[in-house]
Amino acid sequence: MRFKRLDLNLLVALDHMLELRSVSAAAEKMFMSQSAMSNALTRIRTYFDDPLLVQVGRRMELTPRAEALRPAIRDILVRVEATIDTELEFDPAGSKRIFNVLLSDYSMRILMPHVFAMAHEQKASVGFNLLPQTGTPYTLLERGEVDLLVTPEQFTSKDHPAAMLFQDEYVVVACKRGAYADVKMDKSTFEAASHVAMVPPNNAGAVESEILGVAGITRKVDVTSFSFSNLPHLVVGTDRIATIHKHLANIVAERSKLSIYPLPVESPILKQMIQWHAYRDLDPGITWLRSLFESAAKRMIEHSQNQ
């Protein structure tokens, strides 16, 4: 299809090249030969009268024109995909749709078992592709690469609709057989202890580190992990402590023999949100997915409070 003498199929190729900054990588992603992708780039350069991608050393860089085109092209493609993919009705029991969900390992641990259980109860035949949290998760949402974000409020985008899924707060956990099994967990005790902490992968932010930093608290961290959900298990059998979410602590404390203490500083309530692309707002499949996650969150909270 052509629009104003431009083959619109070239926009898909250009989108991949601008994102990956590589002709060969874009060709591989589109299952094309490198020569065919190079030919597509030549045609696009001719149309826009701009090189778009230029070799700088061993890398390809975007020209100013390409940088200006990049968000507009992605927006066009996401809009088209949303229009074509949207079903008039959605039957989870008969659908083979695969939903891409971006979330942290914390949300995966406490929430997803309830999501899967409720999907099973509805005899849903859909699939789920769970993707790791990133520093700017809404970027993947805007590119149409994920259907749903599960993320703290501060990592959502103001350009897309969102809803609060559940609230949480931070607590301190320690091994019941360790030095901090039965203590007053005040600020001085907290700072004197050895800590296990999570260092977020993919340049994602650590919310608890920001909260403690604002409160003027310095932790003595001698163990770091890439996984939040594993922190409580890493203090078992030691004299270390960890700062984790209360819902997570409630789920694992009894089995892992942990003592739970309030965080020794005031901290804001954590709002865990779900967010979806504005173009998918009327997508019946996304509407069902949102309802599923909201129902699962309510069940998760009840389960956490009854531990």
Give the domain-ending residue among 51, 85, 119: 85
Per-residue pLDDT in tens (0 to 9) along the chain, 307 residues: 444 566 767 888 888 888 888 888 888 888 888 888 888 888 888 888 888 888 887 888 888 888 888 888 887 777 777 666 666 688 999 999 999 999 999 999 999 999 999 999 999 999 999 998 877 788 888 888 899 999 999 889 998 999 999 999 999 999 999 999 999 999 999 999 999 999 877 655 578 888 898 889 989 999 999 888 999 999 999 999 999 999 999 999 888 899 999 999 988 999 999 999 988 888 899 999 999 999 999 999 988 877 6
Residue 178's CATH number: 3.40.190.10
Reported pTM? 0.76
Say which residues have a Cβ less than 8 Å from residue 291's Cβ, sequence separation at least 6: none
Q: Which domain holds residue 239?
A: 170-262
- Residue showing tokens 């897309």: 160
Partners of 62 in the beta sheet? Answer: 53
Q: Are both 148 and 199 inside the same structural domain? A: no
Q: Kindly state whether residue 91 falls inside one of the protein's structural domains.
A: no
Residue 40's CATH number: 1.10.10.10
Give the domain-ending residue among 60, 85, 110: 85
User: How many other C-beta atoms are found inside a 10 Å radius of the C-beta of residue 280?
Assistant: 23
Q: Are both 46 and 189 inside the same structural domain? A: no
Say which residues have a Cβ less than 8 Å from residue 46's Cβ, sequence separation at least 6: none
Q: Are both 191 and 258 inside the same structural domain? A: yes
Q: Kindly state whether residue 115 falls inside one of the protein's structural domains.
A: yes
Q: Would you state the pLDDT for residue 233?
A: 94
Say which residues have a Cβ less than 8 Å from residue 91's Cβ, sequence separation at least 6: none
Q: Are both 148 and 221 inside the same structural domain? A: no
Q: Are both 227 and 289 inside the same structural domain? A: no
Q: Would you state the pLDDT for residue 300?
A: 94
Q: Kindly state whether residue 267 falls inside one of the protein's structural domains.
A: no
Tell me if 197 sits within 8 A of 241, measured CB to CB: no
- Residue showing tokens 């650590």: 206
Alpha helices in the chain (DSSP H): 9-20, 23-29, 34-48, 64-85, 105-110, 112-121, 138-142, 187-192, 207-214, 231-234, 246-256, 284-305
Q: Kindly state whether residue 90 falls inside one of the protein's structural domains.
A: no
Q: Would you state the pLDDT for residue 246?
A: 94
Say which residues have a Cβ less than 8 Å from residue 119's Cβ, sequence separation at least 6: 92, 126, 292
Query: What total number of domains does the chain contain?
Result: 3
User: How many other C-beta atoms are found inside a 10 Å radius of the C-beta of residue 144?
Assistant: 20
Q: Would you state the pLDDT for residue 4?
A: 54
